[in-house]
Amino acid sequence: MIECREHECMTASTSIVWFRSDFRLADNPAVDAAVAAGGPVVPVFIWAPQEEEEWPPGTASRWWLHHSLRAFAKELEAVGSQLVLRSGDSMRILVSLCKETGAKNVFWNRRYEPACVGRDRRVERALLEAGIRTASFNGALLYEPSTIATRAGTPFKVFTAFWRACLSAKKPPGPAPAPRRLSSPCRWPTSLPLEELRLVPPTGQTGRLSDWWKPGTVGAWTQLDRFLKEGLSAYDEARNRPDLPGTSRLSPHLHFGELSPRQVLHALQCHARETGLSEAKWLRSQFVAELGWREFAHHLLWHYPHTRNAPLRPEFERFPWRSDKKFLSAWQTGRTGYPIVDAGMRELLGTGWMHNRVRMIVASFLVKDLLISWRLGAEWFWDRLVDADLANNTLGWQWTAGCGADAAPFFRIFNPVVQGMRFDPEGRYVREWVPELAGMSTRWIHCPWEAPQSELRSAGVSLGSDYPFPIVQHRIAREVALQAYLNLKPRGGQAPR
Over the stretch 270-297, which tens digit does the pLDDT of each residue have? 998 888 888 778 888 899 999 999 999 9
Q: Whole-angstrom Cα distance, residue 151 to residue 164? A: 12
Residues 252 and 339 in one domain: no
User: Is residue 180 a part of any domain in this protein?
Assistant: no
Residues 146 and 127 in one domain: no
Model pLDDT, residue 411: 85
Which of 255, 272, 303 terminates a domain? The answer is 303
User: Is residue 187 a part of any domain in this protein?
Assistant: no
Q: What is the mean pLDDT of the chain?
A: 93
Which of 303, 322, 352 terminates a domain? The answer is 303
User: What percent of the chain shows pLDDT beyond 70?
Assistant: 95
Residues 164 and 267 in one domain: yes
CB 347 within 8 A of CB 425: no
Model pLDDT, residue 4: 35
Q: What is the mean pLDDT of residues 479-489?
A: 89
Residues 72 and 163 in one domain: no
Q: What is the mean pLDDT of residues 144-171?
A: 95
Q: What is the mean pLDDT of residues 352-378?
A: 97
Q: Whole-angstrom Cα distance, residue 12 to residue 282? A: 45
Q: Whole-angstrom Cα distance, residue 369 to residue 360? A: 13
Residues 73 and 158 in one domain: no
Output the domain CATH number for residue 114: 3.40.50.620
Q: Is 143 helix (H, G, I), strand (E, B) or coil?
A: coil
Tell me: pLDDT of 382 over 70.
yes
Output the domain CATH number for residue 244: 1.25.40.80
Q: What is the mean pLDDT of residues 164-170?
A: 94
Residues 294 and 358 in one domain: no
Query: Among all residues, which ones are annotated catalytic?
Result: 290, 293, 321, 356, 374, 397
Quote the radius of gyration of the chain (alpha carbons, Å).
25
- Opening angle at CA 411, ends 410 and 412, nearest 5: 90
Count up the domains in the chain and report the number. 3
- Opening angle at CA 489, ends 152 and 485, nearest 5: 100
Residues 335 and 481 in one domain: yes
User: Hey, what's the torsion of the CAs at 204, 209, 215, 220, to 10 degrees?
Assistant: -160
420-465 pLDDT per residue, tens: 999 999 999 999 999 999 999 999 999 999 999 999 999 999 999 9
202-219 pLDDT per residue, tens: 766 666 899 999 999 999
Q: What is the mean pLDDT of residues 45-52?
A: 95
Residues 156 and 268 in one domain: yes
Residues 6 and 132 in one domain: yes
CB 374 within 8 A of CB 401: yes
Q: What is the mean pLDDT of residues 313-330?
A: 95
Model pLDDT, residue 280: 75
Q: Whole-angstrom Cα distance, residue 361 to residue 355? A: 10
Please report which confidence band the pLDDT of residue 490 belongs to, taking 50, 70 and 90 as the band edges: low
The domain of 355 spans: 314-486
Which of 303, 326, 350 terminates a domain? The answer is 303
What letter does residue 230 receive in the DSSP assignment?
Answer: I
Residues 263 and 292 in one domain: yes
393-412 pLDDT per residue, tens: 999 999 999 999 987 788 88
Residues 135 and 145 in one domain: no
